């Protein structure tokens, strides 16, 4: 990763393997450069952690402006721990994201499948709620944002089909192979070839701090091979293996190898601070 050098923007990092692709914008934002204070200093983008909402909206606008995308076309997902991914296809105009229909018009039997695509009303309801662990799209001008403070944000990009995925993978999502499911959807819904897909894993809980004292009850035995100590696990390696098992080339996977608890002065960390904000990992097509 490299730090964006602009003096007029908040601090955010760029993945090296995404450089040279003008159709993709992305940023791994630090906790600096925002308007929040106290435990949420300063670029917190989460509305659910106790921060002042006006500060959060200002911070989200800062993120969107930094990416060169209109704030009204930014999708901030509320994570649900590995249960659902959304698909937004090019034939659905960006205006649908913020076109909130009358509540009575919305379908009550919302699909619980991993893929929630097409079917305008269903998609509108999902985007209205924004409850999912990721979004996969080939729509230009949409900024997808994952809010994290220890969990992995994993960006997948297919430069051939021009498809981007932004996926939240907490430890539960890792056990459910949410990133692998993201690759599957790129293949099934957009015709991507895993050989062409690039992946990047943002700062998150590293093997030095991923402690699970009750791992025998929480983590299936098939993952115990990723233990790095008596109670510690390497979830970065889990994600890498899940991606390569889906056909990605190892050389096309970039891992930041930045542990958020160890760098809580730069990135938010729930494990380190408990009451804290969430930093933004943004990606979109232009």
113-130 mean pLDDT: 46
Domain span at 271:
2-285
Mean of per-residue pLDDT scores for the chain: 87
pLDDT-based confidence at residue 128 (cuts at 50, 70, 90)? low
Instruction: Name the 3-class secondary structure at 215.
Output: helix
pLDDT at 103 over 90: no
Quote the pLDDT of residue 105: 24
Structure confidence at residue 80 (pLDDT): 83
**pLDDT score at 71:** 86
State residue 95's pLDDT score.
Answer: 42
Q: Give the pLDDT confidence of 191-212 residue by residue, as tens digits.
A: 999 999 999 999 999 999 999 9
pLDDT of residue 120: 41
**3-class DSSP state of 253:** strand
First CA to last CA across the chain, in angstroms? 21
Cα gap 108→71, rounded to integer Å? 28
Q: How confident is the model at residue 154 (pLDDT cuts 50, 70, 90)?
A: very high
Q: Is the pLDDT of residue 99 over 60?
A: no
Between 110 and 194, the higher pLDDT residue: 194
DSSP of 60-100 = HHHHHHHHT--GGGEEE-B--SSS-EEEE-TTS-GGGGT--
Q: Average of pLDDT values for 266-279?
A: 97
Contact by Cβ (8 Å): 146, 281? yes
Cα 75 to chain centroid, rounded: 11
As for how many domains the chain has, the answer is 1
pLDDT at 5: 67
- Which pLDDT score, from 0 to 100, does residue 76 have? 93
**pLDDT tens-digit readout, 13-38:** 999 999 999 999 999 999 999 999 99
> Can you give the C-alpha Rg of the chain in angstroms?
18
Let me know how many helices (H) and strands (E) the chain has, helices first.
7, 13
d(CA 235, CA 174): 7
CA distance 173 to 235: 11
Count of Cβ atoms closer than 10 Å to residue 68 Cβ: 11
Q: How confident is the model at residue 56 (pLDDT cuts 50, 70, 90)?
A: very high
> Which residue spans within the chain are E strands per DSSP?
2-3, 12-14, 24-29, 74-76, 85-88, 115-116, 134-137, 143-148, 152-158, 163-169, 198-201, 253-255, 279-285
Q: Which residue has the higher pLDDT, 7 or 283?
A: 283
Lowest mean pLDDT among 70-79, 121-130, 180-189, 241-250: 121-130
Coil, helix or strand at residue 251: helix
Contact 284, 144 (CB under 8 A): yes
Tell me which residue of 238, 266, 285 sits closest to 41, measured CA to CA: 266
Residue 106 confidence (pLDDT) above 50? no
Identify the pLDDT of residue 101.
Answer: 31
Please report, rounded to a whole number, the percentage of residues in the chain having pLDDT higher than 70: 86
Q: Read off the DSSP letter of residue 205.
A: -
d(CA 50, CA 188): 39
pLDDT one-digit tens code per residue, 213-261: 999 999 999 999 999 999 999 999 999 999 999 999 999 999 999 999 9
CATH number at residue 227: 3.60.140.10
What DSSP state is assigned to residue 7? S
Looking at residue 225, the DSSP 8-state letter turns out to be G
């Amino acid at each position: 990763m490299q730090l964006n050098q602009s003096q007029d923007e908040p601090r955010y990092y760029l993945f090296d393997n995404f450089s040279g692709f003008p159709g993709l914008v992305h940023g791994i934002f630090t906790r600096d450069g925002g308007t929040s204070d106290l435990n949420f200093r300063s670029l917190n983008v989460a509305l659910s952690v106790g921060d002042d909402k006006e500060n959060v909206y200002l911070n989200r606008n800062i993120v969107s402006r930094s990416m060169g995308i209109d704030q009204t076309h930014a999708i901030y997902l509320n994570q649900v721990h590995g249960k659902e991914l959304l698909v937004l296809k090019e034939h659905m105009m960006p205006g649908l994201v913020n076109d909130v229909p009358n509540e009575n018009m919305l379908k009550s039997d919302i699909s619980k499948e991993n893929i929630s695509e097409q079917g305008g009303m269903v998609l509108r309801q999902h985007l209205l709620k924004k409850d999912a662990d990721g979004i996969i799209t080939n729509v230009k001008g949409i900024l997808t944002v994952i809010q994290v403070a220890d969990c992995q944000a994993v960006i997948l990009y297919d430069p051939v089909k021009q498809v981007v995925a932004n996926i939240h993978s907490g430890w539960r999502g890792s056990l459910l192979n949410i990133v692998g499911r993201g690759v599957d959807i790129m293949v099934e819904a957009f015709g991507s070839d895993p050989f062409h897909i690039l992946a990047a894993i943002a700062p998150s809980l590293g093997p030095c701090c991923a402690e699970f004292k009750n791992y025998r009850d929480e983590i299936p035995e098939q993952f115990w091979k990723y233990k790095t100590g008596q109670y510690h696990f390497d979830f970065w390696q889990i994600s890498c293996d899940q991606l390569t098992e889906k056909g990605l080339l190892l050389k096309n996977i970039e891992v930041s190898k930045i542990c958020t608890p160890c760098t809580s002065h730069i990135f938010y960390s729930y494990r380190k601070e408990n009451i804290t904000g969430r930093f933004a990992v943004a990606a979109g097509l232009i």
